[in-house]
Amino acid sequence: MNALTDIAVGGRTLFSGNEAVARAVWESGAALATAYPGTPSTEILETLARYPDIRAQWSVNEKVALEVAIGASLAGARAFCAMKHVGLNVAADALMSQALAGCHGGLVIAVADDVGLSSSQNEQDSRHWGRFAHLPILEPAEAQDAHDQTLAAFELSEQVGCPVILRLTTRVCHVKTLVTVGERQAPPARGFIRDSRRWVMLPSNAKAMLPRQDERDATLTALSEDSELTTLLDGIDRSLGIVASGPAALSAREALPDTPVLKLGQTFPVPVERIRAFSRTVDALLVVEETEPLIEQELRAAGLSVHGKDVLPKHGELSVAVLRRAVAAWRGDADSVGAAPAPAGPDPSVFPRPPTMCAGCPHLSPFYCLSKLRRSTLIAGDIGCYTLGAGHPWQAMDTCTCMGASMTMAQGLAAARSGEDATKAVVSVIGDSTFLHMGMQGLLDLVYNRANVTVLILDNRTVAMTGGQEHPGTGFDIHGAEAPRVDFLALVKAMGVKPDRVHSVDPYKLPELFQLIRAETQVPEVSVIITDQPCVLTDRHQPRPALKVVEEDCTGCGGCINTGCPAIQVTRRETTTTKSGKTKELAFARIDSAFCTGCNACVETCAPNAIVPLDPSAHPRLERV
Amino acid sequence: MTESPAATVTNVLLCGIGGQGVLTAAELLAQAAVAAGHDAKKTEVAGMAQRGGVVTSHLRFGPRVLAPAIPDGEADLLLGFEAAEALRWIGQLRRTGKAVVNGLRVKPPVVHQGLFDYPEDPIGMIRAVGVEVRVVEAWDIADSLGNHRLMNTVMLGAVSDLLPLSADDLRERVVAVFRARKPALADLNARAFDAGRAAVTAAPEPVAAG
């Protein structure tokens, strides 16, 4: 019995966009699905792993995920891969060349753009990749569309012989709504076609494919003009017509219920003639798209008079309130602007509540140590929960750009630092999964080029930021079954890091970790320090009995507060004057036993040794008491 | 041709802190709305918000829901899992909207580090803008039942009589979910739901806007 496959065909069920895509991939008869976790796309593969009859697997990165899917497509099967927007940048090498060769079995690439940057380093519009690679783009507005368009994408891919990009956004991926589902189709058996002129991208072969790509572009344009995925939501007010894609189409409909909306399904190639015909039925045309003016510019190039980003914001979500106000302001309709509720947003007078590391997080002590070495180090960070080390109270990160860049950027910093930075140690901080994703090459390059960088690999045995997924360093696969586990110590030594410069350390033993980091940053070659404690949000973490602060012993030194552990709270503040006449702020602390995991990392930060077990008999690890 | 479905849509904004069970509560409310025959959309921003940060979940239900997020200023009901978080989002309520707020105060590390102040009386500040607010001490109730993870069920009980949905059906749904997954917790969740429902009924009438 499987709760997912037991849903009655034709029945309606509450699915997120991600769950709807997963369902449709399964219904399509696809044989294989791959992904690297990334918000907001992660749940697509997590859900697919719960369906039978399809091979779902985590890949080490998006380029690998896409290439595995391409191989399955060439073998004749339907194949699928999912990634967040920046993942497609990683996969772009495979994308650009395979786009020219095309595919065999249907190949669908779901790419999820983080419009509004809820959990990403940029807000790129991945629809550029479709234009760059000559590949069609489908854009669902909600979960039912996501389901239906995923199935249509497989059909289109096989009809035209090229991969199809399914462009999702956060407000599709993470919106649950009712979806009508279908049944799984019999997987088509095509087999591999042995044809080196088609699949071996030698210059001579690739050159011959260029005219065929031109023909394919023309076919895709004709299909887009007639696509059933594009629908008209009619309206009586013909003073304006809206051309819209993605969830913004629904927001436009709600904001301007009397205005006709041409809701595009296939958005590249842009169905220019269909939009031209629509434009003749209205007085003016407004393009509503997230985030870049791609459709708008192509319509303008085709000679249509359109509005778009001259009226609407160029970034962020085009919500109902944003659309109402922008259109009212554009029309010069002061009453309407006044009547529209002011964008309420969060109350700015309330303190910020940024995401924090968890109580007992094994990343707390590395950043506590780095914060103490702050003046003598440059710290290149990477993508993961530990990017929070840039924030309070540690402020122990100088750079973070993309997956794996901690080591490579550290190398450049080390090579070119000058002035007062010339004597500083360069440290790079990267997590286990990010290291395997795109960090290994960076370490190899550090060793090969004889760099002087201290590398901290924070191994918490999971992809933590996206909710705790498995990877080749955890020893388990996407189904939770045992899998081969990489040996990080052996791996970094095999890359050429000297064995004496490779260390594994328990991050909860804070003094040991601090000594190690300080010692290695003074050695002028590549060092690797691997911290080894599991993420506290995973089942691998074993909490220990809680600690407490002995109130009468607390001197208000604030040492424990500086670990950044959210279980440690300030009970009162005082200002005192030291013997030298300086005023000093004191912060007296308590530990919330409901959150404390008993990790002990704060114990050594306490000057008066006031942190002790809540129940001394239950805490044998703490020798001081 | 003109449809105006927005007027018949109920908008519930849930807000709190990552790890409080806000998303689970929203999921159960969405299922209850669908079971009652409504179209529904539920959306939240996950990702970094899971790490003790601000969490909001938007639930909209009615004959046909278009946009996924509640338009600014159009929430009918605000369910606040923490006092200052309720204050943060109170501007999203309609003038006629109501708030059910957990009296729990959770200071984030940036407040403990002395960088920002936690408001003296967030619930008083909500009342001061004229919002009808009912306070439920969900943490204390959950604690008295022996498990603070029951807090979100207490909150669901507290809001259950203010929704255009059957409170008894919602209760049955909550209990059924636990009966299926963690049978030992089914009765405890039923008690938590009832305690939340009773607590909000017993709450004093809101002070009129001054």
Q: Could you tell me if B27 lies within 8 Å of chain A, comparing CB atoms?
A: yes
Is B106 part of any domain?
yes
**Is the CB of A341 inside 8 Å of chain B's CB atoms?**
yes
Is residue B104 in some structural domain? Answer: yes
Q: Which residue of B has its CA nearest to A564?
A: B109
Element at B135 (helix H, strand E): strand B132-136
User: Does residue A111 register a pLDDT over 80?
Assistant: yes
- Would you tell me which residues 137-196 of chain A have a C-beta closer than 8 angstroms to some C-beta of chain B? 142, 170-171, 174-178
- DSSP type of residue A576: E
Q: Is the pLDDT of residue A335 over 70?
A: no
Q: Which residues of A touch B65 (CB under 8 A)?
A: 177
Look at residue A25 and tell me whether its pLDDT is greater than 80.
yes
- Residue for token pair 């697509």: A44
A402 has binding-site annotation:
no
Q: pLDDT-based confidence at A277, cuts 50/70/90?
A: very high
**Model pLDDT, residue B204:** 54
Check A344 against B85: CB less than 8 A apart.
no
* Residue scoring higher pLDDT (A7 or B187): B187
Spell out which residues of chain B touch residue A255, defining contact as CB-CB under 8 Å: 67, 71
Name the average pLDDT for chain B: 89
For residue B113, give the nearest of A40, A170, A393 by CB distance: A393
Tell me what the mean pLDDT of segment A230-249 comes to. 97
pLDDT score of A497 more than 90:
yes
pLDDT of residue A294: 97
Does the residue B79 lie in any domain? yes
Report the amino acid identity of residue A243. V
The range of the structural domain enclosing residue B77 comes to: 8-152
Residue B88 belongs to a domain: yes
Please tell me whether A602 is known to bind a ligand: yes
DSSP label at residue A538: S
Judged against a pLDDT cut of 60, whether residue B208 lies above it is answered with no
Helical segments of A331-394, H only: 334-339, 364-372
d(CA A491, CA A443): 10
Contact call for A356 and B108, based on CB within 8 A: yes
As for how many domains chain B has, the answer is 1
Average confidence (pLDDT) over A500-524: 97
What confidence tier does A212 reach under pLDDT thresholds 50, 70, 90?
very high
Q: Which of A235, A352, A587 has the CB atom closest to B110's CB atom? A: A352
Helix (H), strand (E), coil (C) string for A51-82: CCCCEEEECCCHHHHHHHHHHHHHCCCCEEEE
A590/B contact by beta carbon, under 8 A: no
Q: Does A346 touch chain B (CB under 8 A)?
A: yes
Distance from the A13 Cα atom to the nearest Cα atom in chain B, whole angstroms: 9
B9 to chain A, any CB pair closer than 8 A? The answer is no
Interface test with A, best of B3, B15, B81, B88 (most A CBs within 10 A): B88
A1 touches chain B (CB under 8 A): no
- The SS3 call for residue A6 is coil
Q: What is the CATH number of the domain that holds B130?
A: 3.40.920.10
Contact B192, B145 (CB under 8 A): yes
| B44 within a domain of the structure (yes/no) | yes
Whether B6 has a pLDDT exceeding 90, the answer reads: no
CB B208 within 8 A of CB B132: no
Residue B116 has pLDDT above 90, yes or no: yes
Per residue in A370-407, pLDDT (tens digit) is 999 999 999 999 999 999 999 999 999 999 999 999 99
Q: Is the Cβ pair A178, B40 closer than 8 Å?
A: yes
β-bridge pairing A79-84 and A55-58: unpaired
Residue B175 maps to a domain: no
A596 phi, psi to nearest 5 deg: -60, 135
**Residue A622 scores a pLDDT above 80:** no
Closest C-alpha among A27, A25, A22 to residue A9:
A27
Nearest-neighbour CA in chain B from A267: distance (Å) = 20
Q: Tell me whether residue A369 is annotated as binding.
A: no
Q: Is B124 on the interface with A (CB under 8 A)?
A: no
| Nearest chain A CA: its distance from B72 CA (Å) | 5
Assigned domain for B76 exists = yes
- Rounded to whole angstroms, the Cα distance separating A48 from A28 reads 12
8 Å CB contact of B71 and A254? yes
Residue of B nearest to A391 (CA): B110
pLDDT at A306: 97
How many Cβ atoms sit within 10 Å of the Cβ of residue A353?
25
Give the nearest partner residue to B116 out of A177, A317, A351, using CB atoms: A351
Report yes or no: B160 at the A interface, CB cutoff 8 Å: no
Tell me how many degrees the CA angle B24-B29-B31 measures, rounded to the nearest 5: 95
* pLDDT above 80 (res B61): yes
Helices B151-159 and B22-35: crossing angle in degrees, nearest 10, is 40
> B183 in a domain, yes or no?
no
Query: How far is CA A379 from its chain centroid?
Result: 22
The tens digit of pLDDT for each residue in B129-160 reads 889 999 999 999 999 999 888 999 999 999 99
Q: 3-state DSSP call for residue A216?
A: helix
Q: Is A284 helix (H, G, I), strand (E, B) or coil?
A: coil
Q: In which band, very low, low, confident or very high, does the pLDDT at A1 lie, cut at 50, 70 and 90?
A: low
Q: How far is A370 from chain B (nearest CA, A)?
A: 18
A557 is in an annotated binding site: yes
Q: Could A564 and B52 be called an inter-chain contact, meaning their C-beta atoms sit closer than 8 Å? A: no
Given CB atoms, is A385 within the 8 Å cutoff of chain B? yes
Q: How confident is the model at residue B18 (pLDDT cuts 50, 70, 90)?
A: confident
Query: A178 contacts in B (CB within 8 Å)?
Result: 34, 39-40
Which domains, ranges and CATH numbers included, belong to chain A? 12-225 (3.40.50.970), 231-339 (3.40.50.920), 364-532 (3.40.50.970), 547-618 (no CATH)
What pLDDT is recorded for position A594?
85
State the nearest Cα–Cα gap between A220 and chain B, in angstroms.
30
Which chain B residues are within 8 Å of A346, Cβ to Cβ?
54, 88-89, 91
Residue A173 labelled as part of a binding site: no
